[in-house]
Amino acid sequence: MQIYKDYKDHADFLTVYVREAHPTDEWQMKSNVKEDVCYAQPKTLEQRVAIANDFVKRFNYPTQFGIDDMSNAANDAYAAWPERIYIIEQGRIAYRGGMGPFNYHPEEARSWLAARYGEVKHEAPAALPDKKNN
Amino acid sequence: MLKWIGAVVVLLILGAVIGLSVMAGGIRGAYGMVRYALPHMHRGTLRVGDNAPDASLLALDGSSRLHIRERTGARPLVIVFGSYT
């Protein structure tokens, strides 16, 4: 999560786990089978906690983490499902991202942070050697 | 006249099915999107400048709780909503 690494000294980050988007008992994606991310839609809060912990452990996920209740209160308040980004400043919405997946653009949140705290540039990956010259 | 109306309706439905299939990667994906995704997708009413709603969240330990508003201090708070799958 590069945006977190780049701006954690300036902003706080909170990831909120909401209801699953592609569980095995609903609209499962082939890519999830391939990557062994196969979970049924949680029916209890304990099941949500277990999946969220699996996610954090697998990716060594660094940010603060919260899990939405089975009432989906956070999801409903922020129209968050399936994925969405907001930035809150002084208690108010400062940036509202689009609904995922089609309008989910983390680069917009990065631009907001970059406008405030400066752009963090990364070296482009080294080009692969040209086979013709080998 | 009714025939033309029927033909237009059929064409519109066909167009919607094809469009959704392209977006969702096939007819099965289109069904999944209509059956499972669209009912849960909401644009929402929050706008930039609105007060950020509060919500209680469960921590990863499964027992302690945190509130979104508690996390909004002097620094901006970036909230990423999502799931594993």
What pLDDT score does B1 carry?
Answer: 85
Q: In terms of C-beta density within 10 A (0-12 exposed, 13-18 middle, 19 or more buried), how is residue B85 classed?
A: buried
Q: CB neighbours (10 Å) of residue B61?
A: 8
At A9, is the pLDDT very low, low, confident or very high (cuts 50, 70, 90)?
very high
Q: Minimal CA–CA distance to B19: which of A3, B74, B11?
A: B11
pLDDT reading at A132 higher than 80:
no
Residue A23: Cβ within 10 Å count: 21
Whole-model pTM? 0.86
Q: Domain extents for chain A?
A: 2-118
Query: What pLDDT is attached to residue A129?
Result: 66
Tokens of A29: 């994606």
Measured between alpha carbons, how far is A87 from B80 in angstroms, rounded to an integer? 9
A 49-68: CB under 8 A from B: 49, 51-56, 63-68
Q: Do A29 and B85 touch (CB under 8 A)?
A: yes
Find chain A residues with C-beta within 8 A of B73's C-beta.
Answer: 12
| Any domain includes B79 | no
What is the Cα–Cα distance from A84 to A102, expressed in whole angstroms? Answer: 10
ipTM here: 0.90
In a domain, B8, yes or no: yes
Spell out the residues 6+ positions from residue A88 whose beta carbon is closer than 8 angstroms to its own.
A94, B52, B68, B72, B76, B77, B79
- pLDDT top residue among A1 and B62: B62
Q: With cut-offs at 50, 70 and 90, classify the pLDDT of residue B49.
A: very high
Average pLDDT value for residue range A101-126 = 92
Residue B42 domain boundaries: 2-71
> Residue B26: inside a domain, yes or no?
yes
Alpha-carbon distances, residue B81 vs A107, A108, B78 (angstroms): 15, 15, 10
The b/e string for A75-103 (b: 16+ C-beta within 10 A; e otherwise) is: bbbbbbbbbbbbbbbeeebbbbbebbeee
Is B35 within 8 Å of chain A by CB?
A: yes
Residue B81 lies in a domain: no
First to last CA, chain B: 48
Mutant choice from A53, A88, A108 vs B, greatest count of B C-beta within 10 A: A88
Q: Decide if pLDDT at A131 tops 60.
A: no
> Tell me, what amino acid is at A86?
Y
Distance CA B59, CA A18 (A): 13
Mean pLDDT, residues A8-35: 94
Q: Does B77 touch chain A (CB under 8 A)?
A: yes
CATH of A2-118, one of 3.90.1150.10, 3.40.50.2300, 3.40.50.1000, 3.40.30.10: 3.40.30.10
Neighbours of A32 (CB within 10 A): 18
- Per the structure, how many domains does chain B have? 1
List the beta bridge partners of residue A65.
Answer: A15
Distance CA A103, CA A82 (A): 11
